[in-house]
Amino acid sequence: MFAVLGLGTGAVYAALALGLVLEHRVSGVVNFAHGAMAAYVTYAFVELRATGDLVLPVVGLPGRFHLLDRPPFWLCLVVALALAAVLGLVVHALVFRPLRNAPALARVVASVGLLVALQAIVVLRFEVSRPVAPILPNRPITLMGAVVPLDRLLLALAVVAVTVVLWAVYRFTTFGLASRAMADDPATTALLGQRTGRLASVNWVIASVLAGAGGILVAPLTGLNPGTYTLLVVPALAAALVGRLSSFGITTAAALALGAAQSDLIELQDTFRWLPSVGLREGLPLVVIIVAMAVAGRAVPERAEPVERRLPAAPRPRRVAVPATVGVVVAAGALFVLGAELRLGLITSLIGAVVCLSLVLLTGWVGQISLAQMAFAGVAGFALSKLGQGAGIPFPLAPLLAAALAGLAGLVLALPALRVRGVNLAVVTVAAAVAVEELVFRNPGLTGGFGGTAVPTPSFFGVDLGIDQGGDYPSPVFGLLALAALTALALGLVAVRRGGGGRRLLAVRANERGAAAAGVDVAATKLAAFAASAFVAGCAGALLGYSQGQLSFSSFGVFVSLSYLAVAYVGGIGSVSGAMVGGALVGGGVVFTWLEQLAGWGRYQAVITGLALVVIAVLRPDGLVRARSGSGR
């Protein structure tokens, strides 16, 4: 019975996974924003059905148009799917078509930026919690001796029918054959007279419509939640990887099996009490992805087209002493001069810059795309609570031990990096971030669940380094602690980049085989980079715990990780100074706190940084800080 109940969820995974297959076939893109696109279309459909208003994905501009007082269901569905088609067309034309010859990192961060922006737009433009009326008939029926709602079965049958149609179209029609040829060799397909741009646009439209239709049909079953919808891309990716991002039939079968298996886990949790009570279902896609990687090696196939491999510049820093001294003096003075809210924003930016440094080391210098940095920060943050509150280990030993535990977690996640890299590693890390959030951070026994867990106030030689006397904001003294930690870590990375370690990191990023031929131990370099990057992120997690005094899983969710990748890339992911710019741009940081006080723009932080990430990935791959050799960065 439980397996049959999971067919409805599996059908939605399949609809999204089929779209991912189509997008990758024609553009070589793993679109992490696919679930966010489905979320927007679904919310637009529900809003149109409830109020008669068509809501466009714009913020700060008129984007709500009243169509009818009581629009019929069929009209709402047609308008929503038309909106999905336009969204797919625009996303391809403005984002991924310009990036068709870009390196994998640019395409990954562009899709992450689109995800961040679309999810923020949904939160800003719609009433997030809203009941959804049934769409398909849901009367109970008896199937294989079990009583199940009819709508689950209808969803599964519908997605199987769509799969058969796609298989026939792409096997027997001129359009389908040309699309398949384009996936294998775009240049030759163009020479044969096919308009590859038009082929890609049509495939993106089909993919977006499939995502929107799947999201709309499953809404009555799961309810509306932008975070849940956006992260549906993870199990969809698992199914698509089983199908090697090419086979419609295998992808659909894997998606239905995954949904059924997740549903069966509910029964297993009731039977075997020793199993985790939360997060087990959400962790299953990670297992599927890792198995697919282990079996296939490079689960995301490479495109046949020639690709420009230019990566963000990462020059050797020069003349660091003067700008570092000026920056430290200005920041230290600002901690004592600024008002409480701006001081909190500055401290948030200092901690955010530490997270960005961890991304500079791992992604900017080694080319390993990690979407799980805040998972490492969370490991350190919650470990700090246990070490300080439970074991009574004092400052500064407790945060160092907590960061070291995060470094060990980084070593564990580094193991897949020994076999895969690029987009494949990005898929693994985002799935790992979801699994850690659900299995660990939401476990009440480990982290306090929704209530969170307390972090003891740090003190050093009798000096209180925690909350200000007002009781609501970190003190200027704690700000000095965060500034000292950031300065020490930044100078440490500068030393690494200037020495032989930095040359080895960049050699691995440029060409792993060439680096190995030159005597570089590629495996050891990757492991060390992951551990060091996780340690730096763990330092940020410890600082975050001290600044808040109370930690919850929301501080370290996967969307927070994605937001940090966005600001790190916007600032300049190849340079230490770019991390400083990225820290200034984090949510709740000094820039957006000031913008909120000045013009009320702080709530648009996620939209602005997401769209900025897309624009910069397309137009300025080095970020706002364009690093040049000898520039002092």
pLDDT at 184: 63
Q: What is the pLDDT of residues 335-366, one digit of tens each?
A: 999 888 899 999 999 999 999 999 999 998 99
- Is residue 35 included in any domain, yes or no? yes
Q: To the nearest whole percent, how much of the chain has pLDDT over 90?
A: 29
pLDDT at 189: 67
pLDDT interval class at 617 (50, 70, 90): confident
Do 327 and 197 fall within a single domain?
no
pLDDT interval class at 255 (50, 70, 90): very high
Do 366 and 485 fall within a single domain?
yes
Do 515 and 389 fall within a single domain?
yes
pLDDT reading at 482 higher than 80:
yes
pLDDT at 462: 65
Q: How far apart are CA 166 and CA 22, in angstroms?
A: 10
Report the CATH number at residue 249. 1.10.3470
pTM, two decimals, is 0.85
Give the C-alpha distances (Å, rounded to integers) separating 25 from 19, 21, 238, 298.
Answer: 10, 6, 16, 16
Give 120 or 312, the one with higher predicted confidence. Answer: 120
pLDDT reading at 311 higher than 60:
yes
- Is residue 529 included in any domain, yes or no? yes
Q: Which tokens go with 3?
A: 């397996």
pLDDT interval class at 266 (50, 70, 90): confident
- Per DSSP (E only), the strands in 548-627 are 550-551
Do 485 and 548 fall within a single domain?
yes
Q: What is the pLDDT of residues 526-561, one digit of tens each?
A: 999 999 999 999 999 999 988 888 887 777 888 888
- Is residue 577 included in any domain, yes or no? no
pLDDT at 534: 95
pLDDT interval class at 218 (50, 70, 90): confident
- Per DSSP (E only), the strands in 216-370 are none
pLDDT interval class at 386 (50, 70, 90): confident
Do 358 and 423 fall within a single domain?
yes
Tell me which residue has tokens 């769209």.
611
Lowest mean pLDDT among 74-78, 82-86, 191-195, 281-285: 191-195
**pLDDT (mean) for 418-438:** 81
Helix axis angle, 321-337 to 340-359, nearest 10°: 150
Do 402 and 535 fall within a single domain?
yes
Q: Give the distance, in angstroms, between the CA of residue 359 and the centroid of all CA atoms in the same chain.
A: 13
pLDDT interval class at 274 (50, 70, 90): low
pLDDT reading at 143 higher than 80:
no
pLDDT at 305: 43
Lowest mean pLDDT among 97-101, 402-406, 533-537, 579-583: 97-101
- Is residue 297 included in any domain, yes or no? no
Residue finishing a domain among 266, 285, 305: 266
Residue finishing a domain among 501, 531, 558: 558
Residue finishing a domain among 232, 266, 300: 266
- For β-strands 459-460 and 453-454, DSSP reports them as unpaired
User: Which residue type does 15 have?
Assistant: A
pLDDT at 633: 41
Do 247 and 332 fall within a single domain?
no
Lowest mean pLDDT among 205-214, 335-344, 347-356, 424-433: 424-433
**pLDDT (mean) for 481-498:** 93
Most confidently predicted of 276-280, 401-405, 462-466, 575-579:
401-405
pLDDT reading at 460 higher than 80:
no
Residue 587 DSSP SS3: coil
Do 445 and 552 fall within a single domain?
yes
Task: Give 467's DSSP letter.
Answer: B
Give 273 or 215, the one with higher predicted confidence. Answer: 215
Lowest mean pLDDT among 187-191, 279-283, 496-500, 548-552: 187-191
Q: How far apart are CA 184 and CA 190, in angstroms?
A: 12
At a CB cut-off of 8 Å and minimum separation 6, what does 294 contact? 419
Average pLDDT taken over every residue of the chain: 83
Do 383 and 509 fall within a single domain?
yes
pLDDT interval class at 276 (50, 70, 90): low
Q: What is the pLDDT of residues 93-125, one digit of tens each?
A: 999 888 877 777 788 888 888 998 998 898 888
pLDDT at 29: 83
pLDDT at 310: 58
Domain with 188 in it: 2-137+150-266
Torsion region of 141: left, alpha or beta (phi above 0 gives left; psi -120 to 50 gives alpha): beta
Q: How far apart are CA 133 and CA 319, in angstroms?
A: 63
Task: Give 54's DSSP letter.
Answer: E
pLDDT at 377: 93
**pLDDT (mean) for 183-196:** 66
Counted residue by residue, the chain has a size of 633
pLDDT at 427: 84
- Is residue 73 included in any domain, yes or no? yes
Do 458 and 332 fall within a single domain?
yes
pLDDT reading at 239 higher than 50:
yes
- Is residue 255 included in any domain, yes or no? yes
Do 258 and 360 fall within a single domain?
no
- Is residue 226 included in any domain, yes or no? yes
pLDDT at 308: 43
- Is residue 567 included in any domain, yes or no? no
Helices (H), 469-519: 476-498, 500-510, 512-517
Look at the chain and report how many structural domains it folds into: 2
pLDDT at 79: 93
Tell me which residue has tokens 């737009």.
121
Give 626 or 585, the one with higher predicted confidence. Answer: 585
Whether the Cβ atoms of residue 586 and residue 580 lie closer than 8 Å to each other: no
pLDDT at 632: 39
Do 190 and 57 fall within a single domain?
yes
